[in-house]
Amino acid sequence: MRHLLPLIPLSLILATFCPYANSASRPNFVIIFTDDQGYGDLSCFGGDHISTPHIDKMASGGARLTSFYVAAPVCTPSRAALMTGSYPKRVDMAVGSRFGVLLSADSKGLHPDEITIAEVLKEAGYKTGMFGKWHLGDQPEFLPTRQGFDEFFGIPYSHDIHPYHPRQDHFQFPALPLLDGETVIEMDPNADYLTQRITDRAVQFINTHKNEPFFLYIPHAIPHRPLHVSPPYQTTIDSEIAATLQQENGSIDYKTRDRIFQQAIAEIDDSVGLILETLKQADIDENTFVIFTSDNGPAVGNAGPLRGKKGSTYEGGMREATVVRWPGHIEEGSTNNELMTTMDLLPTFAHLAGAEVPKDRVIDGKDIWSVLTGETKTPHEAFFYHRGNDLAAVRSGGWKLHVKDGKPTELYDLDEDIGETENVLAAHPEVTLRLMNYIKPFTSDIATNSRNSGLAEHPKALSK
């Protein structure tokens, strides 16, 4: 059986594994995970095309993580890595069954035997809630409530997987379902209200569980295309654009909606502000670890100084503007350039919560708590970039080597050239050889120690 801890008293487990076991309560954890937001799409990361005062304030009270990575440049594999602490290829979630990501009525999903970050914390006595976009399988056996979440409200995949998709003639997508738990409560919900409704449920969860340890995962559907904002944010939209939006008549003008990016980010920022204020009002702000990041690079937004965007294994596709805050534990107003990843959150949260990391499988993430506090350097000797199932690059220290068909093609010194503008492959054969030597052992380990995705028989589109 999985998920069972040895029969050891919880107090002994906490005293052994958790540095805060003697505190009044263990830390709460909040992950705010936006969709397709670029490295330059925060004003505290240099973005001057948007304004994010609440996230900026969060950064001034915590740390900016400037070398924080997701494990894939698109939705499904990136989220699989966050949930499992493992590279997407290791858990067979690097691609969907018929597309680069999972689609509606997909036979594929995150295997029920995977142990997610929610399950790790739930086993340690945490309440777990998820409000937003899942995208790890829409069949009943793959839903968040089967993967450790006590509560779920949101959509099973991206909100563009609906009948108004520009390539609907090809995809033939069904109506978009909105779920509460495992029940479809609406079909084709008004996407203008998604950010607001997700935030409201997250706030409700905090207030309900403020007197017990909790894990809250908020994967927003925005700013993935098509962009949407609720009515209060529509008042600042140019009248010509607003008129076009109102005249869509059953279709969705994606390009016009791209022009409301500022408003979409403003609503996300206000959502972050409300979450932080709710924690403060509940008097649990100082006992809550909050991290803000995104699932991959931008489709509409701005990658700032980075090259590439969503779908790319250049830095712009996988390095994310990330802010972390835990008052009294993470230095206020600091900047941390150590290499860290979303895969590290599972073992790090487990460490802080006194929970156990699964020992019967390879977990690629590392405990980065001492890195976040500035006590140690990154534990990652190398980090690997994938495009689907193909290994496309490897980073070690400040060096990043791109490969194609197993051969080196580009080398960049990211410490000096964050934008990957000058290929110095020819000038550094010794660095190239050193990075190439990481690839064979890693690919061999993945082949030997990989796990299967889930497979549903006779998948059906969700309906009310």
CATH code (residue 135): 3.40.720.10
Query: Which pLDDT does position 249 carry in this prediction?
Result: 60
What domain count does the chain have?
1
Going by pLDDT thresholds of 50, 70 and 90, the confidence category of residue 252 is: confident
* Average confidence score pLDDT of the chain: 94
The pLDDT, as a whole number, for residue 318 is 98
Q: What is the mean pLDDT of residues 348-366?
A: 97
Q: What is the pLDDT of residue 366?
A: 98
Mind listing the pLDDT tens digit for each residue in 167-224? 999 999 999 999 999 999 999 999 999 999 999 999 999 999 999 999 999 999 999 9
State the average pLDDT over residues 330-359.
98
Residue range 232-260: mean pLDDT, rounded: 83
Better pLDDT: 281 or 256? 281
Determine which one of 18, 54, 111, 135 is catalytic. 135
Q: Is 135 a catalytic residue?
A: yes
Q: What was the pLDDT predicted at 251? A: 74
Q: What is the pLDDT of residue 10?
A: 41
Examine the pLDDT at 343 and tell me if it is beyond 50: yes
Residue 247: per-residue pLDDT: 60
pLDDT on residue 20: 52
* 141 has a pLDDT exceeding 50: yes
Q: What is the dihedral of CA 342, 344, 349, 354, to 10 degrees?
A: 160
173 in Cβ contact with 106 (< 8 Å): no
- Residue found by looking up tokens 């990043």 in the block: 400
pLDDT at 7: 38
Residue 291 lies in a domain: yes
Identify the pLDDT of residue 248: 63
Share of the chain above pLDDT 90, in %: 89
> What pLDDT, on the 0 to 100 scale, is given for residue 102?
98
Give the pLDDT band of residue 146 (cuts 50, 70, 90). Answer: very high
Residue 40 has pLDDT above 60, yes or no: yes
* 75 catalytic residue (yes or no): yes
The average pLDDT across 374-382 equals: 98
The pLDDT value recorded for residue 259 is 95
Residues 237 and 234: their CA atoms lie apart, in Å, by 5
pLDDT at position 12 is 42
383-430 tens-digit pLDDT: 999 999 999 999 999 999 999 999 999 999 999 999 999 999 999 999
20, 13 contact by CB (below 8 A): no
Task: Please give the average per-residue pLDDT across 271-297, as a whole number.
Answer: 98
* pLDDT band, residue 242 (cuts 50/70/90): confident
pLDDT of residue 9: 42
- Say if 407 falls within a structural domain: no
For residues 74 and 296, what is the distance between their CA atoms, to the nearest angstrom?
6
**Is residue 438 situated within a structural domain?**
no
pLDDT score of 239: 84
User: Is 154 among the domain residues?
Assistant: yes
pLDDT of amino acid 130: 98
> Is the residue at 450 inside a domain?
no
Out of 75, 159, 224, 329, the active site residue is 75
- Does a structural domain hold residue 406? no
The whole-number average pLDDT for the span 345-373 is: 97
pLDDT value at position 241? 84
Residue with tokens 């299967």: 452
pLDDT band at residue 309 using 50, 70 and 90 as cut-offs: very high
pLDDT average, residue stretch 29-52: 98
pTM of the model: 0.94
Q: What is the pLDDT of residue 4?
A: 38
Residue 99 identity: F
Look at strands 340-341 and 63-69 and give their pairing: parallel
387: in domain: no
Expressed as residue numbers, the domain containing 40 is: 10-381
In a domain, 149, yes or no: yes
For the segment 358-377, the average pLDDT, to the nearest whole number, is: 97
